[in-house]
Chain A
């Protein structure tokens, strides 16, 4: 059985869709098909990939208009007559074919104040309970595929890369802010520099996350609420002044 593909080929200057036919094998994923195309028709077809098991987050592309990992998209998701369109991610500049320049993401990561643990007492190991770490373990599942960054309309349609770090790094910020050992305070930066207010919680990031992280509900909204605590809620402000906020103590 053959399947037809429409793959965008080109570089930063120009390009077009090209059609390829691939013979199907059992259990194939889209990345397998792309590899067959490389072997049989186009040795130089550029695609990023590594683990081929949904663990490294390299093979992010858009398949039939949806941001997806090529290695986790099974061919039997598509009907036999469907032509499968594969494009590079829209939000980032194209390098070649399906490969985009994602270096902007690495720059954002660098801006985030690093983990700052409280001091160990007499060199004794930190004590943290499973209940306390579970919430941030969800965020740390992130494989940095940047599909959420790609689909986020603030970056994708509105091109506000200078104002908003994007869902991936809101999740990273959440994993630091909610870390039981961390004593740094990033809330002002989250509001002012990282742009928590730019997010209008339309939740596409959560929809595309291959790790099924509840980016919006568990990450971004709780951060927005912490920003409210600090900047928009006089009642809590007084409460915190009087009783402390419990957040950054032990």
Chain B
């Protein structure tokens, strides 16, 4: 087959994914004068970024002037259990405030302080009110701002176009084959560089806050092209997802509910989080309800309520309460803001939560508590990139946003995701521009590779019969839900891995009815091959990290191990299949280590601009 009859589009750089990171990367590329294209599985502005609710973390210091980038950096490292890539956490904390200001300059309208500045709210793991926000729809504000800005740059947006696989010329990326959802036709993008911004792979779990798009496409494509994945064992379970009714199980309930005063109660009406304060955070967490209330009223001397501990801690606590038989009727716990704040306040600060519970569960959160439980929310791990350029080990292939790994370590703080998208979206754009400027080779896409990708995709349609892709997907979800859950054991992980191996055969036999034109069955079948890679990578990494750290909890290896700090786990493709190995972590730069281990008092005094 000759690809001359396939539609071909040429760009200097192609960004895959149009969420916050993707659009920000594209804007940077266009700004650098590159011919830039962006593809997205959905329509522009629908990406998962809209689901981010609470806010974007940046040490603007508008609400508490003691905040600065060093404290944000320290919080991020502590939240990530010191497994983060030091340089990434540094860049993130330093650049986040500028990215937020830039959004305002592009038209974003954040909530304001009394002094007319961008308001900031409290969030789990953040020492100070740090999250710039717009009620509880911050993600929507950010994606819309970026979208409206980007349509006036010279960026070609290709909507409802899904990437299938990367094309390499030698060891360098030279293109991507994808298909248009509406027609089912294939398209070849010939490029000099590709930036992946495809998000995570939450759809491998049954209970998840992620949408259908979250099938680990970037992870799968990068892996097949020879890129490494890092920290894949760290999957974040958000402590508060809806648990009832069944059809909405997993949908996110923003951490903002707790940030604005919501408390967690068990079936006995007890505020159980006081029993789950880890030693490491004990000195910074309130130990009485009285102190927690004072904190909420703005007493700067009071310590934070335990509901605002990091997400891994809260999620595990909820799971334990439920297992101990103190759960709510539908297998969660109660999240109560009704008794803590007046109805008008709740409606003002948490409008979409109010709306979501009212319409989907017929519950008025200004009068009744919500029922919540853990839901798979975010991948800390992802494609391994260079901390400064965001380039992977495949030349010309870049990654940013959730699909890149390393920034958040073992656990991500709420609000650090939106800032991650913008900071590293921009840096990836910079990185791609630098790479292209120094690129001397003429790259090409070989017929053979392109045809191979297309054939694999059309095979699914051309089979006489086969497995139902939806049912295979459901099977995969139940495997991960059962064996690679919030609390793991070696035994379970091993059987999970076995079951995944068996499922691969089914995936090779999936069959989609009818034509390729807007055929969700076919689309689902194509996504499966990325999902299975994602699922396998998480399982393998989880199996060899024999300790409990951050979002990764092993019942058979309780507690953090000292040696756990010394390595990250990297996944790569080998002749014999997927291989997971531990790689030695570099010692941190002295200056950063000093900041990370400094006391708050030492850092608060400093008013650092940079």
Task: Please tell me whether chains A and B touch each other in their complex, using a CB distance cut-off of 8 A.
Answer: yes
- C-alpha gap A74/B470 in the complex (Å): 23
Q: Which of B46, B251, B252 has the most CB of A within 10 A?
A: B46
Q: Is A56 an interface residue when CB atoms closer than 8 A count as contact? A: yes
- Given the complex of chains A and B, what is the CA–CA distance between A182 and B106 in angstroms? 10
Which of B133-141, B223-231, B334-342, B582-590 faces chain A? B133-141
Determine the residue in chain A with the shortest Cβ distance to B51.
Answer: A51
Of B117, B134, B157, B360, which is within 8 A of A125 by CB?
B117
> When chains A and B are docked, how far (Å) is the Cα of A42 from the Cα of B245?
25
Interface string of A108-129 (1 = CB under 8 A from B): 0110001101000000011111
Given contacts A43-B470, A74-B360, A96-B182, contact A58 B46 (CB under 8 A): yes
Q: Is the CB of B134 within 8 A of A102?
A: no
Q: Which residues in B have their C-beta under 8 angstroms from that of A143?
A: 50, 140
Scoring B44, B47, B137, B140 by chain A CB atoms within 10 A of each residue's CB, the highest score goes to B140
Q: Is the CB of B519 within 8 A of A39?
A: no
> In the complex, which residue of chain B has the Cβ closest to the Cβ of A116?
B107
Quote the shortest CB–CB distance from B462 to chain A (angstroms): 15
A49 and B212 contact, Cβ closer than 8 Å, known pairs A43-B512, A44-B512: yes
The CB with the most chain B CB atoms within 10 A, among A43, A125, A179, is that of A43
Q: Is B520 an interface residue (CB 8 A)?
A: yes
Q: Does B248 contact A (CB under 8 A)?
A: yes
B53: nearest chain-A partner, CB-CB: A55
Q: Which of B106, B151, B359 contacts A109 (CB 8 A)?
A: B151
How far is A46 from B246 in the complex, measured between Cα atoms in Å?
23
Q: Do A26 and B245 touch (CB < 8 A)?
A: yes
Which of B108-116, B400-408, B500-508 touches A? Answer: B108-116
Q: Answer yes or no: B124 CB below 8 A from chain A CBs.
A: no
Is A50 a contact partner of B361 (Cβ separation < 8 A)? Answer: no
Query: Is the CB–CB distance between B42 and A137 below 8 Å?
Result: no
| Segment with Cβ contacts to B, from A27-35, A153-161, A198-206, A237-245 | A27-35
In the assembled complex, the Cα of A127 lies from the Cα of B113 at a distance in Å of 10
Q: Which residues of A contact B578 (CB under 8 A)?
A: none
Contact A53 B51 (CB under 8 A): yes
Min distance, Cβ A73 to any Cβ of chain B, angstroms: 9
Contact digits for B507-521, partner A, Cβ 8 Å, 1 yes 0 no: 000001111011111
List the B side residues contacting A11 at CB < 8 Å. 517
Other-chain contact of A137, B46, B134, B522 (Cβ < 8 Å): B134
The contact of B109 among A44, A102, A136, by CB within 8 Å, is A136
Kindly state whether residue A47 has any CB partner on chain B within 8 Å. yes
The answer to whether A58 and B42 touch (CB under 8 A), given A43-B521, A44-B514, A127-B117, is yes
Q: Does B386 contact A (CB under 8 A)?
A: no
Tally A residues with Cβ within 8 Å of B: 59
Interface positions, chain A 158-200, Cβ under 8 Å from B, are 172, 176, 179, 182
Contact A95 to B182, CB < 8 A, known contacts A74-B360, A109-B148, A179-B109: yes
Query: B115 and A127: CB pair below 8 A?
Result: yes
Contacts of A110 on B, CB cut-off 8 Å? 151-152
- Whether the Cβ atoms of B151 and A130 lie closer than 8 Å is no
Whole-angstrom distance from the CB of B254 to the nearest CB of chain A? 11
Residue in contact with A115 in the complex, picked from B107, B251, B513, CB distance below 8 Å:
B107
In the complex, which of the residues A26, A96, A106 contacts B518, with contact meaning CB atoms closer than 8 Å?
Answer: A96
- A219 lies within 8 A of chain B by Cβ: no
Q: Given A43-B468, A46-B520: A56 and B46 within 8 A (CB)?
A: yes
Verify A46–B519 contact, CB threshold 8 A: yes
Q: Mark B558-572, 1 if CB is under 8 A from A, else 0.
A: 000000000000000
Residue of B nearest to A106 (CB): B44
Q: How far is the CB of A101 from chain B (nearest CB, A)?
A: 7
Once bound together, how far apart are the Cα atoms of A125 and B211, in whole Å?
36
B residues in contact with A46, CB < 8 Å:
518-520
Q: Is there contact, CB below 8 Å, between A43 and B520?
A: yes
| Alpha-carbon distance A35/B311, docked complex (angstroms) | 31
- Complex CA–CA separation, A30 to B605 (angstroms): 56
- The reply to whether A129 and B116 form a contact with Cβ atoms under 8 Å apart is yes
Contact present for A114 and B152 (CB under 8 Å)? yes
Task: Determine the residue in chain A with the shortest Cβ distance to B359.
Answer: A72
Report the nearest A residue to B517, measured CB to CB. A96
Residues from chain A with a CB closer than 8 A to the CB of B144 are 140, 142, 144
A39-B468, A109-B151, A140-B141 as given contacts; A179 in contact with B107, CB under 8 Å: yes
Query: Across the interface, which residues of A come within 8 angstroms of B320, CB to CB?
Result: none
Return the contact of A39 from the options B46, B110, B141, B471 (Cβ within 8 A).
B471
Q: Note all chain B residues with C-beta closer than 8 A to A74.
A: 359-360
A54-B471 in contact (CB<8A): no
Contacts of B47 in A (CB 8 A): 50
Report whether A52 and B251 are in contact in the complex, using a CB–CB cutoff of 8 Å. yes
Q: Which of B111, B247, B513, B518 has the most CB of A within 10 A?
A: B247
- A21 in the interface (beta carbon within 8 A): no
Could you say which residues of chain A place their CB within 8 Å of the CB of B151?
Answer: 106, 109-110
Q: How far is the CA of A73 from the CA of B137 in the complex (A)?
A: 21
With A54-B355, A55-B140, A125-B117 in contact, is A29–B247 under 8 Å at CB? yes
> Which residues on B are within 8 Å of A, measured CB to CB?
42-48, 50-51, 101, 104-107, 109-112, 115-118, 134-135, 137, 140-141, 144, 148-149, 151-152, 157, 159, 182, 211-213, 244-248, 251-252, 351-352, 355-356, 359-361, 468-471, 474, 512-515, 517-522
Interface pairs (12), CB distance under 8 Å: A27-B361, A55-B137, A96-B518, A102-B43, A106-B151, A109-B151, A110-B151, A117-B105, A130-B111, A133-B109, A137-B111, A179-B109
A43-B468, A54-B356 known; 12 new pairs, CB 8 Å cut-off, are A11-B517, A27-B244, A28-B245, A39-B468, A43-B521, A50-B46, A56-B42, A96-B517, A99-B518, A109-B151, A130-B112, A141-B351
